[in-house]
Structure 1
Amino acid sequence: MQNADQNDDEPLYDRPSKSQIKRELLAITELGKQVVELPLDKVRQLDLDEKTLEAIRTAQKITGREGRRRQIHYVGKLLRTADTEAIIKKMDEWENGSREQTAHMHHMETLRDRLMDDDDALTRLLNDYPDADIQVLRTLIRGARREREQNAALPAGQDHQRKQYRALFQAIKTLLNKE
């Protein structure tokens, strides 16, 4: 028998199931494990209360397997009251930001190598970046090429010079970061 105000489409049980609650708690515990593995300076950047920070510091110091596991569960318990979405978002920014920065660095290194190997690469770069100082770039490219030739002639074990090589990279970095 149904009440008059209860509709057939409405569920009788509107709370999350025990299994769903358990999955959420395990996810928070796993997040606590990831937070414990972070360096302390990054942990401080997360918006956590002092009690949670102290529990994380303690977990980082524990070397015993079982003691560390229990402390991580305690950190997970404390994280239940924290803004876990903000923590996940910040950790994702660190992870993906790092990938983007690495890709950007590789792009600049590749561009530097192309400039040293191919004269047409400078023309293409100037087409993309008309504000670039052509004289400075030409001087740095010539210097880096000369440096590479001198380094090739050095006997094995002697330190290579990389002053012009690095200066060319810095000029490219400055040029690309202007945008």
Structure 2
Amino acid sequence: MTEFLHGDWDEDEVLKSKTQVKREMDALQQLGEELVALPPASRAKVPLDEELRDALLLADKLAKKREALRRHIQFIGRLMRSRDIEPIEQALALIRNTNQAATRKFHLVEQWRDRLLTEKDAVTAFVAEYPEVDVQQLRQLIRQAQKEQQKQQPPKAYRELFQLLRPFVTEAE
């Protein structure tokens, strides 16, 4: 019995507690949920085998059947247990970073638009940073957007100003 306790264990073979096993299964299920939530274009960037890809396609079809989708996501989690998930996690991390960068750029465009509408010297600062902008069109849209805000009209020029700023700000980042 003492041999069993001291000498027969492999160094690689580590016993996991029931809680640890459950945490790992939950993490794989969360990963499966994240894959199901991805749009098809993003999902195509993730390295998946055929069985997992088919399971994700079926999950798309089950989207309106709540309980069936829940059970199917559990099935996807079970499928993931027998796979090397590191490449999948890396691809998802890359997709997350891309989405975060796009959100950051979007917020930067919004900040510039709001600054241009409220600060007098913002036009000069914007033109200094993005000299290729059409200054006349920029000033015109700013005036129109300010008038719309004062008269509480629909924000047509406000949106047009955003559309004018977006290519300059997003390409510069």
TM beyond 0.5: yes
Greater relative contact order (CA < 8 Å, ≥ 6 in sequence)? 2
Out of 158, 169, 174, which is 2:168 matched to? 174
8 Å CA contact 2:28–2:81 kept in 1: the answer is yes
Among candidates 128, 138, 141, match of residue 138 of structure 2: 141
TM-score between both structures, scaled by the size of structure 2: 0.69
Q: Which runs of 5+ in 1 are unaligned?
A: none
Tell me what 2:107 maps to. 106
2 CA distance for matches of 1:81 and 1:149? 59
Q: Paired residue for 2:74?
A: 73
Instruction: Supply the AA of the counterpart residue of 2:86.
Output: E
Q: Superposed, which structure 2 residues align to 1:19-38 within 5 Å?
A: 19=17, 20-38=20-38
* 2:109–2:162 Cα contact (<8 Å) kept: no
Q: What is the CA–CA distance in structure 2 between the aligned matches of 1:132 and 1:11, rounded to whole Å?
A: 73
1:23 is displaced (CA, Å) by 3.8
For residues 6-27 of structure 1, give each alpha carbon's deviation from its aligned partner in whole angstroms, at most 9, with x where no partner exists.
xx9x994421314245543342
Closer, same or farther in 2 for the Cα pair 1:27/1:171, shift >3 Å? Answer: closer
Letter in 1 for 2:168: T
User: How many pairs were matched up?
Assistant: 165
Deviation per CA, 1:90-148: give whole Å up to 9, x if none: 32333343233222222222212322333322333355x3x6147x22x1232113313
Larger Rg: 1
Structure 1, 83-92 or 166-175: larger mean CA deviation: 166-175
Distance 1:115 1:68, change over 3 A: closer
Match of 2:56 in 1: 56
Instruction: Give the structure 2 partner of residue 17 of structure 1.
Output: 15
Aligned-partner Cα distance in 2 for 1:21–1:153:
61
Provide the aligned C-alpha RMSD in A.
Answer: 3.6
Counterpart Cα distance in 2 of 1:114 and 1:41: 35
Percent identity over the alignment is 25
State the AA in 1 paired with 2:107. Answer: H
Segments of structure 2 that go 5 or more residues without pairing to the other structure are: none
